[in-house]
Each structure stands twice: as C-alpha cells, then as structure tokens.
Amino acid sequence: MNKEIQEKLRKMSHANPVDEAVMTILKSQSQCCVRARVRLEEMKKTVGKNVLFISGSPRKGNTEHVISRLYESVVGNKEILLLRSKNVKRCIGCLACHHQPVCTIKDDDVPEIMESVLAADVLVIGTPNYFENVSGLTKDFIDRLHPFYKPKTIQGKKLIIFMVGGGKSHGSLEMLKSSMQGFVKHYGLELVGAFAFQGLNPKDVECDPQNEQTVSDMVEMINGL
Ligand SMILES: Cc1cc2nc3c(=O)[nH]c(=O)nc-3n(C[C@H](O)[C@H](O)[C@H](O)COP(=O)(O)O)c2cc1C
C-alpha cells in the first residue's frame, strides 16, 4: 500500500461505517492501490457525509417542523431521530462508563441512538427553549452519551444547533449557546452553527414565512460541510 493511502487510512475515523467499508476495500485491494484510491473517491462522492437530525421536543411542534424541513432539503445520507418517539431513560450517575465505555442502563433505545450518533459526521440538534435551557429530553440524550466522553469517541464531529422559544429569538440563541457549551466542550465537538426561531404554539414557526430563509441558510450550511 502506498504512503498516501496509508495516511488516508490513518486519518479515517473508525467509527464511521462508510470509512470502515472503504477501509476494508482498500485493505483487500492493497495490491492495486491506484484502483482502490479511485474507488474510494467515487464512494465518498456517492455516499458523502452522514447527517443525523435530532429533535428534542416532546411534541409535534416547531422544533420538529424545522428538523423535518432540514431533513427533506439536505442532500446525501441522512437520518432523522425524534427523541419523543424513543425510550431514553435518564442517566443514573453511576459513572461506570468512566471505567469502560458502556452504560449500565438496559432495555431502552439508547444503544441504537448511540449507533446513529457514531455513524454521523454531522449532528443537527433542535431543542425547545425550556426555562432558558434545552428541553429535558434533549438533556437526557446528551447525558446518556456519557460513554463517549472519556474515550473521546465522537470528538471532531460537526454540530449545528437550533432552539425554538416563545420569547424573542435572539434571547433563545444566547440561551442555546450557553446551555450547549458543556456538551460541545466535553465531547470535543466542532460547533459550526447556532440558530434560533421564535414560536410559542406548535405551528407558529411553520406559519411565519420569514423562517424559511433561516431554514435555507441552515440547509446551505449543512450541504457545504
Ligand atoms: C416547560 C416550558 C418552559 C418554557 N420556557 C420558555 C422560556 O424560558 N423561554 C421561552 O422563550 N419559551 C419558553 N417556553 C416556550 C417554548 O419554548 C415554546 O412553546 C416552543 O415553541 C416549544 O417548541 P416545540 O413546539 O418544538 O415544542 C417554555 C415552554 C415550556 C413547556
């Protein structure tokens, strides 16, 4: 295998299934590196990045509307995760995951959620503003990713966040940034964008045409990553 390919392999995240598949191809084709490299570039072009869209609202309302609009508009591999439809038990604070990267909580949907997070290159998380913080659902999700904390498993993944609040949207933006600061810092994520929407009742964001511009800006940002 030539040096360039070896370097590429070294840089690849083993957590990304696309990269793992490409790596298998490259390893099995080590005799013909040039062909393998062409295949790698083609595969990357076709498959592209994985984007995971997460709604942290307990209702079918504004956050879910924005998440759905983004999901339908962004090109490439994508997955949508509505936390309200998942069983996410609360972290019990046992700290077992500080010794080995597994969680002691059983029988909920977090293992499959963690797999989706692992497979994603870009995470897009939307949350309602609940008393100037993220929703409880969003916080439980963040806390349950704790097994990723010590081994820095999701370090370097790109993150785009947005918040919907009944109050002025610039207020929500400040709340959002401060409430997500620890998540970004401790998991080693790269925060590339933060957005806010104003809406109190479930269809407020959908009914205000001005919000479409913000959605378009977000789509452009995600597609450009
Ligand atoms: C428990 C609770 C606390 C809230 N606290 C705030 C707040 O501090 N600031 C604010 O602007 N809106 C607040 N709201 C309003 C919600 O952010 C608003 O209804 C938003 O549209 C919810 O998003 P969703 O439709 O995606 O669920 C609160 C709502 C609830 C239910």
Measure the CA–CA gap between 150 and 152, rounded to whole angstroms.
Answer: 5
Measure the CA–CA gap between 63 and 128, rounded to whole angstroms.
Answer: 6
Report whether 173 contacts 206 (CB < 8 A).
no
Atom of ligand 1 nearest to the CA of 204: 21
Three-class secondary structure of residue 91 per DSSP:
coil
Query: What pLDDT is recorded for position 171?
Result: 82
Query: What pLDDT is recorded for position 21?
Result: 45
Measure the CA–CA gap between 57 and 140, rounded to whole angstroms.
Answer: 12
Which tokens belong to 129? 């503003």
Which tokens belong to 215? 């959605």
Query: What pLDDT is recorded for position 46?
Result: 55
For residue 134, how far is its CA from the centre of ligand 1 (angstroms)?
Answer: 9
For residue 91, how far is its CA from the centre of ligand 1 (angstroms)?
Answer: 23
Query: What pLDDT is recorded for position 48?
Result: 81
Query: Where are the chain's structural domains?
Result: 3-47, 50-223
Measure the CA–CA gap between 100 and 27, rounded to whole angstroms.
Answer: 29
Residues having CB closer than 6 A to ligand 1 are 57, 59, 61-63, 128-132, 164-167, 172, 199-200, 202
Query: What pLDDT is recorded for position 4?
Result: 53
For residue 168, how far is its CA from the centre of ligand 1 (angstroms)?
Answer: 11
Q: How many C-alpha atoms does 124 have within 13 Å on its Cβ side?
A: 27
CATH 3.40.50.720 holds for 50-223: no
Regions of the chain with pLDDT less than 70: 1-47
Among protein residues, the one with the nearest Cα to ligand 1's atom 8 is 131
Query: What pLDDT is recorded for position 118?
Result: 97
Query: What pLDDT is recorded for position 126?
Result: 98
For residue 62, how far is its CA from the centre of ligand 1 (angstroms)?
Answer: 10
Query: What pLDDT is recorded for position 132?
Result: 94
Query: What pLDDT is recorded for position 45?
Result: 53
- Which of 54, 57, 85, 129 has most ligand 1 atoms within 8 Å of CB, for mutation? 129
Query: What pLDDT is recorded for position 153?
Result: 96
Q: Cβ neighbours of residue 81 under 8 Å, at least 6 residues apart? A: 52, 53, 54, 55, 113, 116
